[in-house]
Structure 1
Amino acid sequence: MGETVVGEARGSAPAWRGGFGRLWGAAAVSSFGDAVRVAALPLLATTLTREPLLIAAVSACGYLPWLLLGLLGGALADRVDQRRAMVAVDLVRGALVAAFALAVATGHASIGLLLVLAFALTSMETLFDNAATALLPALVPPERLGRANSRLMTGQQLVKTVVGLPAAPLLLAGGAALPFATDAASYLLAAALVAPLRRVLPARPPRPAASTLRAEIGDGLRTLGGDRVLRGLCAATTLCNVGVASLVATLVLVSGRHLRLGDGGYALLLTAYGVGGIGGGLLATPLARRLGQARAVLLAGAGQILCLLVLGRAPGGLVAGAAFAVFGCLGMVWNVSSRTLMQRAVRRELLGRVSAAFRTCAVAGAPLGALLGGAVVRWWGPGAPPFLAAAFFALSVLALLPAVRAVAGGPAGESADGSRLLTKKDTGGAGVPVSRSGQDASGSP
């Protein structure tokens, strides 16, 4: 029997006037703020301290809160009004970043303050991202969700690559505080865009009155672990993130010492990746319509292995840039399709918790990957990380095969909590969070 299809009518479009347009605008604004802040953070850290461990700790703060608080954030996201939670979190984050911008402008910034800010922003992100994951399916009709998912992610990548990154050096030229002030404004504008969505959201499903946070977190973990499709996707994504982190952590060494691309080589590869991601967002929906979501994920993972092998053996910048562009394209296909599969298998009232469990497992692989990347450079040289990443992607494809067989086996299966996995006679799609942070799926530097 054929594999499940995306379930999306050809030529359908998101309901822009029903709330999706505001959500898309908030995602685009957030991506711009992310780009300028991420560009400014390492430069500011190097002016505040020369201690490499403290500088690295700034990046670690982007992972640690997800490991410590991710499951709690998912449970809270399913308990509260998701729109109000997103607005409140953005207002608080905007105020914090604005205060930090003032500290930078007046010369009162310190590396300790920067670490506290990074940890606080990511901690609040655990609630924001999980709430946003569960919000989109309430805004967009089922037959249009897949396309809405693709447009959200493509818009975020487009704004980040074409607008945000080029604007970062211009803002930095205006002063070290300006990128942070801009990021603070982006938080406040995103909150203003999301706030009016209360008029178009349907009623939330009721929550059992006697349930506790611990029990609700357990429900999310059991749903993730008890469903073959979700379990396979989570394992595959975690392995991919180990590989991606091993490459990203050492990419400046790969481009400079191995590929010998010069001072602009690192920026060249990142730009190629971003452009490829835009193309992948445009490709994801028609590819999934033709192959099905699960096979699209499998194809993307297999293709990324080839890209990494080419990157490791590239004779020059042109080949390396092309390989990284295709790598970014297929990474976006993976992200869109895997998120669609995950959200199709879960009832709306469980989405926040399952998303949190999925994200926590996926993020847990990144610190390990970064350490492994540094180790292989030390032992085998700067050409080794692409091959290490390829090995983890090969493992991820093997881990994904049971999920692909489960989806392709039809008729519709049952997830651990009783929700259906849609077959080709069903319609539907998935949501994507309006994310302000790093990777949650394959191929996301």
Structure 2
Amino acid sequence: MTTDEPTGAPTDGTGDEPPAAVPWRGGFGRLWSAAVLSSFGDALRTAALPLLAVTLTDRPLLVASVTACGYLPWIVFGLLGGAVADRVDQRRAMWTVDALRGVLMAGFAVAVAVDRASILLLIALAFALTTLQTLFDNASTALLPALVDREALGSANARLMTGQRLAGGLLAGPVVPVLIAVSAAAPFAANALTFLAAAALVASLRTAPPRREPRPGGSTLRAEIAAGLRTLGRDRALRGLCAATALCNVGMGALIATLVLLVTDWLDAGTAGYAAATVAYTVGSLAGGVLNGWVSGRLGRMRSVLLAGAAQIAALVVMGSVRSLAALVVSLAVFGFMGMVWNVNTTTAMQRRSPAEMLGRVSSAFRTLAVAGAPLGALLGGGAVTVLGPSTPALLAAAFFALSLAALIPVLKADASGADAVDVPDDNRTTAHVPSGSIRLGPAAGQGTRAGQKERRRKTG
């Protein structure tokens, strides 16, 4: 896809070349540690907030509003966060956001400790934290290609997502009851500390600030957001991946919102069964992160996504038709494994196909359009349970996943033909180049030589 590619490498931008090693020392290790810390703290807060909410109000709509505010800012501010991420130093944006989130959580912990918390304060906090997250996540996606070699992006994304799932899915769970036993404010205070520690780690990264070309006169955030949407829409592979992910998220919203009813009502497995189901999903996700490189190395990135979608359809059909807790546990483990394969490969494809100077905007457009399906799916799932019973949402999710495979057909065609609809010069076409040459990751910058790798690590860590 670029003139810097080594001879024989794929030129479609999807990147099926063998994964390169990811060095833990330097910038990536600090970014990974910050991401894992933040995920651990987020899991503590996510588990503690509903428990606190039900002590503050007995109105289900208000309790549900706390969760809804975890989606709403992405729909309202997601595109804006991506445009801002492309304008600023991503490293500085990330540590500033984490510092602000740490201060907000510390203040909320104090309010809980002195018994001044209210349900409206919880709703406002959830909205504010997710609004800040729209900038943080888009900046993080845009920063990663500056910290690792282009061939290592898939491995780096897998390690990031696996570490986050391990910290948030397994390690945080047993800690929450202990902290709540100490004090109702303890989980929120711990979350504040993780935010501040993550901010310090990101601030310690020694990446050169991006030197971007001056924006044209009269350029506005609205015009830049529109340019990001056009770039996503012109790339056949990214457009198909985005549509497929959005359809999957409709199904995921239906499944997640009603999984507790599937386990406790249809299977009559109680809270222990629900715990077993969620642990199975987490363990499957961790295995998917560890083995993703093996899967994508043998099948290629796009075919791995197709396999993941097909396997998840089969797992969903089993969940909705086989009345057995053991079958559900196995199905959720497979579902989690393949979900991680899907997430790692779609994120890596987006990073590699997007123009580097627009990665924040393309990422935000992708995320916003994809996330928008989840609330719709939750409503559809609730309606399906009411009308047809608690096993129906899993089958409904399977139908949406099947539609997502149809949306992947253009992706596979682009993968096979090497077509790329992004109309930019060759040397700016992928994230192999950081804007204005702050850290050049292509082979022409020494990526393929030991001296070039040492020079890049010297600049980033």
Counterparts of 1:217-366 in structure 2, within 5 Å, are: 217-366=225-374
Which digits, 9 at most, give the CA deviation of each residue in 1:51-101, with x for residues without a partner?
010001001101111111111111000001111111111111100011001
Shift of 1:200: 3.3
Which residue of the partner structure matches residue 37 of structure 2? Answer: 29
Q: Supply the AA of the counterpart residue of 1:206.
A: E
In 2, Cα distance between equivalents of 1:60 and 1:76: 24
Indicate the larger mover: 159-168 or 365-374.
159-168
> Cα deviations across residues 219-267 of structure 1 (Å, max 9, x unaligned)?
1010011111111011000000000000100111011111221221222
Q: Please give the alpha-carbon distance, in whole angstroms, between the structure 2 residues aligned to 1:213 and 1:3.
A: 32
* 1:80 to 1:384, Cα distance in 2 relative to 1, 3 A: same
Give the CA deviation at 1:36.
0.7
**Counterpart pick for 1:205 among 198, 203, 212:** 212
Task: Name structure 2 gaps, 5 residues minimum.
Answer: 1-7, 432-441, 444-461
Distance in 2, matches of 1:314 and 1:8, equals 40
TM-score of the pair, normalised by structure 2: 0.88
Larger Rg: 2
In 1: Cα distance, 2:133 partner to 2:392 partner: 33
1:415 aligns with 2:422: yes
- SS state of the match for residue 123, structure 2? helix
Aligned residue type for 1:345: R
Other structure's SS at 2:191 match = helix
Aligned equivalent of 1:434: none
Query: What secondary structure is seen at the aligned counterpart in 1 of 2:422?
Result: coil
Answer yes or no: is 1:151 the counterpart of 2:166: no
In the TM superposition, what is the alpha-carbon distance from 1:162 to its structure 2 partner? 2.6
Q: Which whole-Å CA distance do the structure 2 matches of 1:207 and 1:275 have between them?
A: 47
- Letter of the 1:344 partner, please give it: R
Q: Is the 8 A contact 1:6 1:289 kept in 2?
A: no
Find the aligned partners of 2:321 and 2:210 in 1 and give their Cα distance: 55
What is the CA–CA distance in structure 2 between the aligned matches of 1:24 and 1:244, rounded to whole Å? 26
Of residues 82, 85, 100, the one that matches 2:93 is: 85
Shift of 1:6: 3.6
- Structure 2: distance between partners of 1:285 and 1:206: 36
RMSD: 1.9
Contact 2:250–2:397 (8 Å) recurs in 1 = yes
Contact 1:238 1:361 in 2 (8 A): yes
Give CA deviations for 1:347-391 in whole Å, capped at 9, x if unaligned.
Answer: 111000011111110111011000000000000011111100000
Q: Scaled by the length of structure 1, what TM-score is found?
A: 0.91
1:19 to 27, 31, 34: 27
Give the match for residue 184 of structure 2.
176
Task: Say whether 1:191 aligns with 2:199.
Answer: yes
- Sequence identity of aligned pairs in percent? 58
Judge conservation of contact 1:3–1:408 (CA < 8 Å) in 2. Answer: no
- Quote the Cα distance in structure 1 between the aligned partners of 2:181 and 2:424: 53
Quote how far apart the aligned CAs of 1:417 are. Answer: 4.2
SS at match of 1:205: coil
| 1:246–1:370 contact (8 Å) kept in structure 2 | yes
How far residue 41 of structure 1 moved from its aligned partner, in angstroms, is 0.9
SS of the aligned residue for 2:238 comes to helix
Moved more, 84-93 or 202-211: 202-211
Structure 1 residue runs of 5 or longer lacking an equivalent are 428-445
Contact 2:16 2:296 survives alignment (8 Å)? no
Q: CA deviation at 1:168?
A: 1.3
**1:420: Cα distance to partner?**
4.7
CA distance in 1, matches of 2:235, 2:152: 25
- 1:421 shift after superposition: 7.3
> 2: CA distance between counterparts of 1:159 and 1:204?
35
Aligned residues, how many? Answer: 421
CA distance in 1, matches of 2:122, 2:32: 29
Q: Which amino acid aligns with 2:284?
A: G
Q: Structure 1 residue 212: deviation in Å? A: 1.4
Aligned partner of residue 372 in structure 2, secondary structure: helix
CA distance in 2, matches of 1:192, 1:53: 38
- Residues 9, 295 of structure 1: alpha-carbon distance in 2 compared, 3 angstrom cutoff: closer
